[in-house]
Structure 1
Amino acid sequence: MRTADEPGRAGAPPGEGSADRLRRSTARWEDVLWAGLGLLVVAGLVAAWLAGSAAYRVVAERGTAEAADRTAIEAVVTGRASPPGDPQVGLQAVTVAWTAPDGSERTGRTSVPGLREVGDRVTVWVGGDGVLTGPPLTAADAGAVGLGAGFLTLVLWGGFVLGAGFLAFRWTTRRFARAWELDWARVEPQWTGRRTG
C-alpha cells in the first residue's frame, strides 16, 4: 500500500504534528529516565557498600568487646545433658566442670562440637564473672554479617529500581502508543479512502 508521501498518491505528505511532538518529548523523557535509573543503580551500590561496612564495623566492635571480656578455658565433660545432637548441626549438649578465673569450681551445661564422652576435655568460654558463655564474635562473623547486609540492601534497592523502571517505561510506552494513534488518525482516511464526518 502506498503512503501519501509516495509518488502518485493523492494528499499532502504527513507533516510534523502533535504526534511528532509527543514522540520527541517522550524520547527525551526516556533519555532522562535511563540516566535517572543509572544514577539509582550507582546510589544502590554505594548504599549496599555503606550498609555492609556499617554492619561489619558493628559486629567487629562487638567481637572486640566480647574478646576482652571472655576467656577460653579447659573444662572436663561430666555428663551428657541430652542425647547426641542433630548430626547436621554437629553439636552435643553436655555438662562440664571448670575452674573459674577466681579459682572457684563451677559446673554448667553447654554445647560442644562432635560426640564427647565423660572425662573428655573441651574448650569453653566464660565471662568475667566465670559463667559459661559463647565464644566472642570473630572477623569471619563480622564479614558474613557485612556481606549479608550489603546483599540484602542490593536486593531491596534492586527491587525498587526495577519497579520504578517498569512504571516509568510503562508510562513512556503509553505515550508512544498515543503518538501512533494520532499518526494513524491523521493518515488512515488517506490510506483507506474513508471520509470522516
Structure 2
Amino acid sequence: MNGGRHPRKTSKALWRWRRNPLRRRDDATEAWIVLAVWIAVVVGGTITGVMTTRAAEGVFAEQRAERRTVSAVLVSDVPLTASGVGDGNDRTSARVRWTTPEGVTRTGSTMVETGQRAGAEVEVWTDGRGALSAEPPTPTEAAVEAGVLGVVAGLALSGLVFGAGGAGRWWLDRRRVERWGADWARIGPLWSQKTG
C-alpha cells in the first residue's frame, strides 16, 4: 500500500504535459492555453486591479486638492418637498450665484436643501476653474470607491481572458471532433469487415 496517497491522480491532471503516445498536438496546445489563461488572470488581473485602484485614488486626491467650498446666493425660492418637511436631508436642484476667486460673478444650478428663500446664502463646491462641481469624496469614500473600481477592472480583464481561452478551447474541441470523424470514417469500415 502507498499510505492512502494517489500519485496517479496528479499524473492524470498533468497528462497533457507528459510524453504519451495518445497525446495529440491539440492536447498540448490546450494545456498551454489553460496555463496562459490562469497566468493572465492571476498576474494580469492583479496588476490591472492595482493600477486602476492607484489611478482612481490619484484622481480622487486631485479632486480633494482642487475643489473648495464658496458662498453662493440662491437666485430663487426653493420650495419644500411634497412631504412639506424640510429636515436638511431633502435636496433639490436650484439656481445659485457665486463669485470666482478671480472676481467673476457666475450663475448655475446645484443641489441645495429645500425650503429656502431667494437671497439665502448656501455653500457650493467649485473646481479649480471656479465652475460648480460635486463634493469630492472623503479619503475613506475614495479608498472604498477606488478599491471597487480596481476589483471590477481585474474581474473585467479576467472575464475577457476566460472568454478568449474558452473560445480557443472550443475551436480545438471542434477540430478534434472533426478529426475523430475523419479517422472513424477511415477505420470504421475495416473493423466492420473483421467482425463481419
TM over 0.5: yes
User: 1:36 pairs with 33, 37, 53, which one?
Assistant: 33
Q: What is the correspondence of 1:1-20 to structure 2 with a 5 Å cutoff?
A: none
User: 1:72 pairs with 69, 73, 77, which one?
Assistant: 69
Find the aligned partners of 2:147 and 2:70 in 1 and give their Cα distance.
26
Q: Is the 8 A contact 2:100 2:106 kept in 1?
A: no
For 2:8, the equivalent position in structure 1 comes to: none
For 1:154, the equivalent position in structure 2 comes to: 158
Structure whose alpha-carbon radius of gyration is higher: 1
Size of the alignment, in residue pairs?
A: 163
Change (3 A) 1:121 1:47: farther
- Residue deviations 1:108-146, cap 9 Å, x none? 323327755436765421234543222335333323332
Find the aligned partners of 1:149 and 1:80 in 2 and give their Cα distance.
44
Give, in angstroms, the shift of residue 68 of structure 1. 1.2
Change (3 A) 1:116 1:179: farther
SS at match of 1:133: coil
SS at match of 2:69: strand
For 1:108, the equivalent position in structure 2 comes to: 107
Give, in angstroms, the shift of residue 160 of structure 1. 0.8
Unmatched segments (≥5 aa) in structure 2: 1-20, 82-89
For 2:22, the equivalent position in structure 1 comes to: 24
Q: What is the correspondence of 1:1-197 to structure 2 with a 5 Å cutoff?
A: 24-26=22-24, 29-73=26-70, 75-79=72-76, 92-98=92-98, 106=105, 108-112=107-111, 115=114, 117-118=116-117, 123-136=123-136, 138-192=142-196
Q: Is the 8 A contact 2:71 2:122 kept in 1?
A: yes
Q: Is the 8 A contact 1:41 1:161 kept in 2?
A: no
- Give, as a single letter, the amino acid of the residue that structure 2 aligns with 1:187: W
SS at match of 2:110: strand
Change (3 A) 1:107 1:95: farther
Give, in angstroms, the shift of residue 165 of structure 1. 0.9
Identical amino acids, percent of aligned pairs: 19
Give, in angstroms, the shift of residue 147 of structure 1. 2.8
Q: Is the 8 A contact 1:77 1:95 kept in 2?
A: yes
Which structure 1 residue ranges, 4+ long, deviate > 6 Å from structure 2? Answer: none
- Residue deviations 1:89-118, cap 9 Å, x none? x9732123456567x695532332775543
Unmatched segments (≥5 aa) in structure 1: 1-22, 85-89, 193-197
Q: Is the 8 A contact 1:76 1:98 kept in 2?
A: yes
